Amino acid sequence: MNYKNQRRILITGATSGIGYQAARYFLENDHKLTVLCRNSSRVDSTINSLKSDNIPISRIEELACFHIVDLSDLNSIQEFADFQLSRNSIIDTIIFNAGLQYTGSKAIRRSQQGIELTFAVNHLSHFYLAHKLFPLLYKSTIPRVVITASEVHNPQSPGGQVGKRAGLSELEGIKKLSDFEMIDGVSLFDADKAYKDSKLCNVLFAKELSRKLVMRNIDIPIICWAPGLVIPLSKEGFFRHSRRNNEFGQILFAFIARDLLRITESPQNAGKILFNLSTFESYQKEKFLYLSNNIKTIGKMILKEKAISSEANNKEKARILWDSSYNLINKFVSINSI
């Protein structure tokens, strides 16, 4: 194997969808991979899928390491991170890709710490992992952070205009440090808005992280990207949770968007983009970059730099989200500064 350009990569959300396809490309190209899985059954199914996709078991065993980490439980994250720190290993690329959506559900779901589940998994878990694992990223000579966001963070985008729109208001929910339902502290619970808000948090987090690093003259590219509408042919992938609440509607939506209008991206292509963003040297010079995978023509997508929403550009809101997230986590587990 050629390890000349090998990266040591840690990824969340790699057991299905975009993340799984990216993991397959990483292994095919000899990168060392640490995969966070929710439970042992996800470990087994991911390994079996990789073998079915012609990744030799010898390569999986040599290059991949699977850890059971429940991203909805801060204690589970802390246990994993402390283990990684005790090993004093090096991380070259951290990929925050896990994304939960349960649109259609009327009932709120909560994490082990009682925090609304979408916010807990999509934002808070990654925020905590970054704070815990950045000492290992600092040891790398080619460090990079890649964050999977979404265009729905922007109320002016086509997807962002459907249903209730993203908006954090004054973040009164999270600032209360209590069992809030919505981050803004004023909206009634809406699972779709909760997802959009969490994607807005992803972009705000990326911007504030980049700002803090630049202020300290630390060169770590922070790459935030929107993969577009990704609907696989299987029942796995991004919509698997929301499908439980409206299976017929999801099937109809998939047929219209993917098969009729052809305005979706395949998990394979999106996974290849994530692989490129995580490994290509051309991205190493960036400080902060937001890219969006948009429709070029029917059936074809193009990845290009794009402006983020006005709210995502709000420096004061990014600071409040950062401080409030830190204080919320500190209620339950130990957290160090980046």
Could you tell me the CATH number of the domain that includes residue 90? 3.40.50.720
Answer whether 97's CB lies under 8 Å from 125's CB.
no
- 175 vs 45, more confident: 45
Closest by CA position to 221, among listed 180, 282, 159: 282
Which residues have a Cβ under 8 Å from the Cβ of 28 and sit 6 or more positions away? 55
Q: Once rounded to an integer, what is the mean pLDDT over residues 147-168?
A: 94
pLDDT of residue 241: 47
Residue 18, pLDDT > 70, answer yes
Residue 236, pLDDT > 70, answer no
Q: Which tokens is 260 given?
A: 């009729």
- 247 vs 167, more confident: 167
147 inside domain: yes
Question: Which amino acid is present at 110?
Answer: R
Residue 240, pLDDT > 60, answer no
Distance CA 28, CA 32 (A): 10
pLDDT of residue 247: 63
Provide the number of structural domains found in the chain: 1
Bridge partners of 145, per DSSP, are: 94, 222
Residue 261, pLDDT > 60, answer no
pLDDT of residue 256: 56
Closest by CA position to 11, among listed 338, 328, 279: 279
Closest by CA position to 286, among listed 214, 232, 181, 237: 214
237 inside domain: no
- Tell me the percentage of the chain whose pLDDT exceeds 90: 80
What pTM did the predictor assign? 0.91
pLDDT of residue 257: 60
Q: What is the mean pLDDT of the chain?
A: 91
Helix spans in the chain (H): 17-28, 40-52, 57-63, 74-87, 117-119, 125-138, 172-175, 191-215, 247-254, 267-279, 315-330
Q: Give per-residue pLDDT as tens, 305-338.
A: 999 999 999 999 999 999 999 999 999 999 999 9
238 inside domain: no
Residue 23, pLDDT > 80, answer yes
Q: Once rounded to an integer, what is the mean pLDDT over residues 60-84?
A: 98
- The answer for 336, left when phi > 0, alpha when psi is -120 to 50, beta otherwise, is beta
41 inside domain: yes
With cut-offs at 50, 70 and 90, classify the pLDDT of residue 278. Answer: very high
Distance CA 55, CA 64 (A): 11
Closest by CA position to 89, among listed 65, 60, 72, 57: 65
252 inside domain: no
pLDDT of residue 151: 95
Structural domain of residue 56, as residue ranges?
Answer: 8-230+267-330
Q: Angle CA(264)–CA(268)–CA(271) in degrees, nearest 5? A: 100
- Tell me the percentage of the chain whose pLDDT exceeds 70: 88
Q: Once rounded to an integer, what is the mean pLDDT over residues 133-149?
A: 98
pLDDT of residue 102: 93
pLDDT of residue 228: 81
246 inside domain: no
Locus of tokens 């990744």: 55
Answer whether 274's CB lies under 8 Å from 227's CB.
yes
CA 75 to chain centre: 19
pLDDT of residue 250: 61
pLDDT of residue 244: 52
pLDDT of residue 251: 60
Q: Of 8-22, 104-118, 157-171, 250-264, where does mean pLDDT reach its minimum?
A: 250-264
191 inside domain: yes
With cut-offs at 50, 70 and 90, classify the pLDDT of residue 4. Answer: low
114 inside domain: yes
Residue 71, pLDDT > 50, answer yes
